[in-house]
Amino acid sequence: MPLKKPIAMNQQLQSSFQLLEKQREEFSAWVQKAPAVLQHRKPSADQWSAAQLLFHLAKVDQQVVNGLEKRLGSGKALRPMRLGTRVRSFLLNLFLRLPIKFKAPPAVSEVPEEVQIPAVIKDWQDTRARLLVLVSGFPENQLNREVFFHPRSGMITLPQTLRFMLEHTEHHRRQMRRLLS
């Protein structure tokens, strides 16, 4: 079920959020509609199933939203974006576009052996509802401020964070298609 978009959201954030929602709905539908044998089949002992990959994607989003809520709720002044911020964000997204495998950061690398797909889909939607609240109320004059700490690239802005989320999910698109075929 798509989330309702707010009236006064910044256009750049709104566009990114809509793309994120499209991805979430697409990946959730793929896994949900697949036969159970494909949902839980692992290509090898050290690889994830489609259900586990869906869990990972939802977990990454949850970690991002938790980090944003913590940072924005701290009351600390947000540091202006620097040149290094742009470079690190660019490199992070560039590497995510490459067809190579990366080791997930520890906070999102553990997935349960048994994944309850309806629960993951609901949790992911709930996380996105929290993200919608954050981006809806985000002040326009803070868009070039660093708000999220990514474990590989350091502090990035909210638009860069949403771009990372989009690129991360796209990074897993081929993997998900392969798992469900």
Q: Kindly state whether residue 6 falls inside one of the protein's structural domains.
A: no
Number of domains making up the chain: 1
H helix or E strand, kind and range, residue 59: helix 50-73
**Contact present, 147 and 64 (Cβ < 8 Å):** no
Residue 77 CB coordination number (10 Å): 7
Q: Kindly state whether residue 8 falls inside one of the protein's structural domains.
A: no
Return the pLDDT at 75. 85
Local structure of residue 152 (DSSP, 8 states): T
Q: Kindly state whether residue 62 falls inside one of the protein's structural domains.
A: yes
pLDDT tens series, the chain, 181 aa: 555 554 467 889 999 999 999 999 999 999 999 999 999 999 999 899 999 999 999 999 999 999 999 999 998 889 998 998 899 999 888 888 888 777 777 777 789 999 999 999 999 999 999 999 999 989 999 999 999 999 888 999 999 999 999 999 999 999 999 999 9
By residue range, what is the domain housing residue 46? 16-98+108-179
CATH of the domain at 37: 1.20.120.450
Q: What's the mean pLDDT when you consider all of the chain?
A: 91
Residues 6+ apart with CB under 8 A from 71: 78, 147, 148, 149
Return the pLDDT at 3. 59
- How far apart CA 45 and CA 105 sit, in angstroms, is 20
Q: Kindly state whether residue 31 falls inside one of the protein's structural domains.
A: yes
pLDDT, tens digit, for every residue of 139-178?
999 999 999 999 888 999 999 999 999 999 999 999 999 9
Residues 6+ apart with CB under 8 A from 118: 32
Tokens of 52: 């586990």
Q: Kindly state whether residue 169 falls inside one of the protein's structural domains.
A: yes
Q: Kindly state whether residue 22 falls inside one of the protein's structural domains.
A: yes
- How far apart CA 112 and CA 78 sit, in angstroms, is 36
Q: Kindly state whether residue 10 falls inside one of the protein's structural domains.
A: no
pLDDT, tens digit, for every residue of 119-129?
999 999 999 99
The DSSP bridge partners found for residue 156 are 148
Q: Kindly state whether residue 76 falls inside one of the protein's structural domains.
A: yes
Return the pLDDT at 37. 93
Residue 4 CB coordination number (10 Å): 8
pTM of the full predicted structure?
A: 0.90
- How far apart CA 60 and CA 66 sit, in angstroms, is 10
- How far apart CA 29 and CA 2 sit, in angstroms, is 12
- In this prediction, what percent of the chain has a pLDDT beyond 70? 96
Cα-to-chain-centroid distance, residue 75: 24
Return the pLDDT at 130. 97
